[in-house]
Chains A and B, each alone.
Chain A
């Protein structure tokens, strides 16, 4: 039904366009140059008026129809069924009714349910037809309204212009609203979580055992939600990643900007771009299947106890992933130091290396720092590599050969399987997500501020 209706809207809009344009054509034949807008603008004006309100109405209708019918259904059910029912019970009841209505019957339904299913079907039908009628009526009204405004001096061109602006604003607002929605849901669920687990316990607690009791008398059934071990693991892995990525990325950038000739640059740069384009799941493979066993056997050769999913493997591979990121940002930073400074230093008789360490790097340092902070925020938020290669158990240690877990890994594991949003186990994921979000947001803001301020210095 909705599909046909969409098609109808398109057809109506096309017809409206044609109608508007022929009106415009007539104005032109009658009035010549005094007509304000080209016939195409008249067509577009009518088409927009016919198509867009109908489309918006259709979308709103589709969104509202389900909840409204659900509400009506619950209203018809006898009070005995609803007494003392929780939200979950209600949604169970509703889905049973819907199953019955759709013919998926597993057991003989009670008479109340069967009746409700009947009325559900009826209401749905009414709603569908009502939707068709309303949408078409709106389109006809809009067509009438828009057409009546057309005149030789009518500024259809400005109307279309305003509409285009509106569309662009709507798109950017949609992006902003989505972001705010995500933040709001994070905050909302986190508040829920902190009503069960105190904030200080979450932020400073040293034990992370995010399980919930299945039976009341279960041994060790109460979870512990002290996130310090998780934060610590994240820091360990991110540190290892940065230790790998910063020197390699920085030296690559220095080599590419100052030493390499065009031929080498043209080879190395695309390779770096490929490295940046490798899906993180592939890096995950690489960490689990190649790097971790290699570290393990190297460790055992030296007589060191090495965990099969050591922080070193996950962090090291994450570092490799970040190299192109750092090198391209450092490259930008070094390149944006004016050539005159380098010339000045070289003309004093400084060597390339002296020029680099004494003039270019200090001048580019803010930009490079910004790049490193951005890379760090990526390392902290990176998920796939650590889900595949890091550990699951949160232990309070910083030994890179041991297994540690990260915030992102914990979020993934907390949300796998049973996801009812009324226990601290699931809600803890939102609290972790909120912390992650705030930290990466902070890092990004600082990094971008540094980079921007530094850019202004030379432009």
Chain B
């Protein structure tokens, strides 16, 4: 435990010196996690994760599968609440506000922290209804024209509008995999979140669709704090400004992406990057 905390401090030092001053230094910290643990029943999946996630940048989580990346991501918007037997410890703060505060409204929290899943999961409704879903349940639109506007602008931001503008009333499930995933991103954006969590959003997509989504993520960085889990180190290198390496439920190393890939401090990180850990 102490060891991990020390490591975090150490990497933070290295971050501070290595950060590109023009881009990163003035970015305020949006999310802070301290000593986050997760148990699934008797099994401990996370052993004290501490990390700071900066505003309007892409932070990627990498690591072998089963190391707890998704689990940690789900802690941030409290999706672990929906898993029977999952217990979360430690603190996570969004803008200094404790996410696990009993007085906090989970519904509001999840409106502020959107999520995109591994497999595109559009609802079996029309494209329009998929995007309108969030604004409707949160009462964000005053009337039909307002809602139309939200839907169109969300689809635009997700880079999907031009492709679907003539068939907004056709089912979202009829789109291609990549389009479905962008629809899910539009759906998340429609609620006006500040943070977007993405759990391996390209793992079910072909290379072309993946490239489109990566480009989109890069654009969205302007306006959103993005956390992306990926099993592809190339993807992490391409889209993220900061990278965190997880292994066996521990956060091993975290820092500016370039540093992690060119000059990792930790031996395990080196091994993983060289492809020696599965």
- Residues of chain A touching chain B, judged by Cβ–Cβ distance below 8 Å, are 261-262, 338, 340-351, 354, 358-359, 362-363, 457
- Please tell me if the beta carbons of A346 and B117 are within 8 angstroms of each other in the complex: no
Contact partner, B137, options A262, A338, A343, A354, Cβ 8 Å: A354
- Please tell me if the beta carbons of A362 and B133 are within 8 angstroms of each other in the complex: no
Specify which of B84, B121, B122, B138 lies most central, judged by the most chain A CB atoms within 10 Å of its CB. Answer: B121
In the assembly, what is the distance between CA of A208 and CA of B119, in Å? Answer: 61
Given contacts A262-B84, A340-B117, A358-B137, contact A347 B124 (CB under 8 A): no
Chain B, Cβ-Cβ closest to A351: B107
Binary per-residue interface labels of chain B (129-150) against chain A in the complex, 1 for a CB within 8 Å, 0 otherwise: 0000110011000000000000
B117 surroundings in chain A (CB, below 8 A): 340, 343-344, 347
- Please tell me if the beta carbons of B111 and A349 are within 8 angstroms of each other in the complex: yes
A341 surroundings in chain B (CB, below 8 A): 121, 123-124
A457 surroundings in chain B (CB, below 8 A): 124
A362 surroundings in chain B (CB, below 8 A): 124-125
Given contacts A351-B107, A362-B124, contact A343 B133 (CB under 8 A): no
In the assembled complex, how far is the CB of residue B141 from the closest CB belonging to chain A, in whole angstroms?
15
Chain B, Cβ-Cβ closest to A360: B123
What would 22 A/B residue contacts be, using CB atoms closer than 8 Å? A262-B84, A338-B121, A340-B121, A341-B123, A343-B79, A344-B123, A346-B82, A347-B79, A347-B115, A348-B133, A348-B134, A348-B137, A348-B187, A349-B107, A351-B107, A354-B137, A358-B137, A359-B123, A362-B125, A363-B123, A363-B124, A457-B124
B75 surroundings in chain A (CB, below 8 A): none
- Please tell me if the beta carbons of A349 and B138 are within 8 angstroms of each other in the complex: yes
Chain B, Cβ-Cβ closest to A340: B121
Contact partner, B134, options A261, A338, A343, A349, Cβ 8 Å: A349
- Contacts beyond the supplied A343-B82, A351-B107, A363-B124: 14 A-B pairs with Cβ under 8 Å: A338-B121, A340-B117, A340-B121, A341-B121, A344-B121, A344-B122, A344-B187, A346-B110, A347-B77, A347-B117, A348-B110, A348-B133, A349-B106, A358-B133
A359 surroundings in chain B (CB, below 8 A): 123
In the assembled complex, how far is the CB of residue A270 from the closest CB belonging to chain B, in whole angstroms?
20
A348 surroundings in chain B (CB, below 8 A): 110-111, 114, 133-134, 137, 187-188, 191
A345 surroundings in chain B (CB, below 8 A): 123, 133
B82 surroundings in chain A (CB, below 8 A): 342-343, 346
In the assembly, what is the distance between CA of A346 and CA of B106, in Å? Answer: 10
Specify which of A340, A344, A358 lies most central, judged by the most chain B CB atoms within 10 Å of its CB. Answer: A344
Q: Is B108 an interface residue (CB 8 A)?
A: yes
Binary per-residue interface labels of chain B (97-118) against chain A in the complex, 1 for a CB within 8 Å, 0 otherwise: 0000000001111110011010
- Count how many chain B residues have C-beta atoms less than 8 Å from C-beta atoms of the other chain: 27
In the assembled complex, how far is the CB of residue B62 from the closest CB belonging to chain A, in whole angstroms?
22
Judged by DSSP, the binding face of A is: helix
- Please tell me if the beta carbons of B121 and A343 are within 8 angstroms of each other in the complex: yes
In the assembled complex, how far is the CB of residue A326 from the closest CB belonging to chain B, in whole angstroms?
22
Chain B, Cβ-Cβ closest to A342: B82
Chain B, Cβ-Cβ closest to A352: B82
Q: Is B184 an interface residue (CB 8 A)?
A: yes
In the assembly, what is the distance between CA of A347 and CA of B79, in Å? Answer: 7
- Residues of chain B touching chain A, judged by Cβ–Cβ distance below 8 Å, are 77, 79, 82, 84, 106-111, 114-115, 117, 119, 121-125, 133-134, 137-138, 184, 187-188, 191
B133 surroundings in chain A (CB, below 8 A): 345, 348, 350, 358
In the assembly, what is the distance between CA of A262 and CA of B84, in Å? Answer: 9
In the assembled complex, how far is the CB of residue A116 from the closest CB belonging to chain B, in whole angstroms?
76
Chain A, Cβ-Cβ closest to B173: A457
B191 surroundings in chain A (CB, below 8 A): 348-349
In the assembled complex, how far is the CB of residue A343 from the closest CB belonging to chain B, in whole angstroms?
6
Chain A, Cβ-Cβ closest to B112: A349
A342 surroundings in chain B (CB, below 8 A): 82
B115 surroundings in chain A (CB, below 8 A): 347
In the assembly, what is the distance between CA of A362 and CA of B133, in Å? Answer: 13
In the assembled complex, how far is the CB of residue A453 from the closest CB belonging to chain B, in whole angstroms?
13
In the assembly, what is the distance between CA of A104 and CA of B107, in Å? Answer: 87
B79 surroundings in chain A (CB, below 8 A): 343, 346-347
Chain A, Cβ-Cβ closest to B79: A347
B106 surroundings in chain A (CB, below 8 A): 349
A338 surroundings in chain B (CB, below 8 A): 121
In the assembled complex, how far is the CB of residue B173 from the closest CB belonging to chain A, in whole angstroms?
8
B77 surroundings in chain A (CB, below 8 A): 347
In the assembly, what is the distance between CA of A341 and CA of B77, in Å? Answer: 17
Specify which of B79, B84, B133, B188 lies most central, judged by the most chain A CB atoms within 10 Å of its CB. Answer: B133
B188 surroundings in chain A (CB, below 8 A): 347-348
- Please tell me if the beta carbons of B108 and A349 are within 8 angstroms of each other in the complex: yes
Given contacts A349-B111, A349-B134, A349-B137, contact A344 B184 (CB under 8 A): yes
B137 surroundings in chain A (CB, below 8 A): 348-350, 354, 358
In the assembly, what is the distance between CA of A344 and CA of B185, in Å? Answer: 11
Chain B, Cβ-Cβ closest to A348: B134
The 8 closest A-B pairs by CB, nearest first: A349-B110, A347-B115, A340-B121, A349-B111, A344-B121, A348-B134, A349-B107, A363-B124
In the assembly, what is the distance between CA of A363 and CA of B114, in Å? Answer: 22
In the assembly, what is the distance between CA of A283 and CA of B121, in Å? Answer: 45
Chain B, Cβ-Cβ closest to A347: B115
Given contacts A347-B79, A348-B187, A349-B137, contact A261 B84 (CB under 8 A): yes
A349 surroundings in chain B (CB, below 8 A): 106-111, 134, 137-138, 191
In the assembly, what is the distance between CA of A38 and CA of B133, in Å? Answer: 68
- Please tell me if the beta carbons of B123 and A347 are within 8 angstroms of each other in the complex: no
B114 surroundings in chain A (CB, below 8 A): 347-348
B111 surroundings in chain A (CB, below 8 A): 348-349
In the assembled complex, how far is the CB of residue B103 from the closest CB belonging to chain A, in whole angstroms?
17
Chain B, Cβ-Cβ closest to A355: B137
In the assembled complex, how far is the CB of residue A457 from the closest CB belonging to chain B, in whole angstroms?
8
Chain A, Cβ-Cβ closest to B117: A340
In the assembled complex, how far is the CB of residue B113 from the closest CB belonging to chain A, in whole angstroms?
8
In the assembled complex, how far is the CB of residue A255 from the closest CB belonging to chain B, in whole angstroms?
15
B110 surroundings in chain A (CB, below 8 A): 346-349
Chain A, Cβ-Cβ closest to B111: A349
B125 surroundings in chain A (CB, below 8 A): 362
- Please tell me if the beta carbons of A340 and B123 are within 8 angstroms of each other in the complex: no
A344 surroundings in chain B (CB, below 8 A): 117, 121-123, 184, 187
A354 surroundings in chain B (CB, below 8 A): 137
